[in-house]
Amino acid sequence: MTQARHTPASLPSSESELDRRSVRARTERMTTTALGDALYEVATERDERYLVDLDARRCSCPDHAFRDVRCKHLRRVAIEITEGRLAPPGRLPADCAVCGEELFVPEEAVDEPHYCEDHALEPGAFVRDRETGDRLLVVHVSDRRADHVGIGKSAYSVATYPTNRSYDPADRVVGAVYPQSVSMTDSGPAPDSLRVYSFPRSRLERLSEPA
Ligand SMILES: [Zn+2]
Ligand SMILES: [Zn+2]
């Protein structure tokens, strides 16, 4: 036996009201912005701005505050995240440093350069040097900034080296070789007898096919 339960007056009283809320959450014009820390700003058509805290499931709108319902702003934030248009909690939007495609990156790393799938480099990727047009093979992708890595015994860093000065000093350093005599092994390219050159990452343009 199930017992009938009283519905609190503050909750939507019918299925149809719930449906109307869902429709409004999906169709009304709202602009959502990820602020970090699971906080989102929602701007409505009438330029009202509300703060949604997804962790606490709270919204600053009167509907939420006084009626204790899951308002259309909270729903809209959840929909936009589910459909991939808004950064989930813990992430913020950032542009690919090469093509500008929007990516959702860990919020603590938002100020670092980011790269989309097409422009990420990994050992074994073939690249073109934008300065010389040479084709190279990537053997190492580091987390170190170009202005923090020295070149041999010279006074230059990768960032201050004359042909690298037009690139972002915060670029990560990539090690690459001229691949004429690289042999491929099961564990990837084997360039040990070759000299590895250090480049700021955006100086190297990924080639889609090994030429
Ligand atoms: Zn709200
Ligand atoms: Zn890209």
Does residue 34 lie within any of the structural domains?
yes
Number of continuous H segments (helices) and E segments (strands) in the chain = 3, 13
Number of the ligand closest to the Cα of 70: 1
Number of the ligand closest to the Cα of 57: 1
Number of the ligand closest to the Cα of 76: 1
Does residue 135 lie within any of the structural domains?
yes
Measured in Å, residue 204 CA sits from the centre of ligand 2 at: 13
Does residue 5 lie within any of the structural domains?
no
Number of domains composing the chain: 3
Does residue 120 lie within any of the structural domains?
no
In this predicted structure, what is the pLDDT of residue 14? Answer: 60
Does residue 121 lie within any of the structural domains?
no
Count of alpha carbons within 13 angstroms of residue 78, beta-carbon side: 15
Shared-domain flag, residues 62 and 110? no
Identify residue 164 by its one-letter amino acid code.
N
Shared-domain flag, residues 37 and 74? yes
In this predicted structure, what is the pLDDT of residue 56? Answer: 92
Question: 7 — phi, psi (to 5°)?
Answer: -85, 120
Shared-domain flag, residues 49 and 95? no
Does residue 32 lie within any of the structural domains?
yes
Residue 69 β-bridge partners = none
Q: What is the dihedral sign for C-alpha 32, 33, 35, 37?
A: positive
Number of the ligand closest to the Cα of 96: 2
Q: What does the pLDDT profile of the chain (211 residues) look like in tens digits?
A: 444 444 444 445 566 777 777 788 888 899 999 999 999 999 999 999 999 999 999 999 988 776 667 889 999 999 999 999 999 999 999 999 888 999 999 999 998 888 898 888 999 999 999 999 999 999 999 989 999 999 988 899 999 999 999 999 988 899 999 877 556 666 666 655 578 899 999 899 988 765 4
Shared-domain flag, residues 63 and 94? no
Calpha distance 138→133 (Å, rounded): 15
Measured in Å, residue 202 CA sits from the centre of ligand 2 at: 11
In this predicted structure, what is the pLDDT of residue 25? Answer: 80
Shared-domain flag, residues 101 and 163? no
Measured in Å, residue 65 CA sits from the centre of ligand 1 at: 8
In this predicted structure, what is the pLDDT of residue 8? Answer: 43
Measured in Å, residue 81 CA sits from the centre of ligand 1 at: 16
31, 80, 194 from 178: Cα distances, Å: 48, 45, 8
Calpha distance 77→180 (Å, rounded): 52
Q: Which domain holds residue 45?
A: 15-82
Question: 34 — phi, psi (to 5°)?
Answer: -80, 130
Answer whether 94's CB lies under 8 Å from 105's CB. Answer: yes
Calpha distance 194→49 (Å, rounded): 59
Measured in Å, residue 97 CA sits from the centre of ligand 2 at: 7
Shared-domain flag, residues 172 and 109? no
Measured in Å, residue 96 CA sits from the centre of ligand 2 at: 5
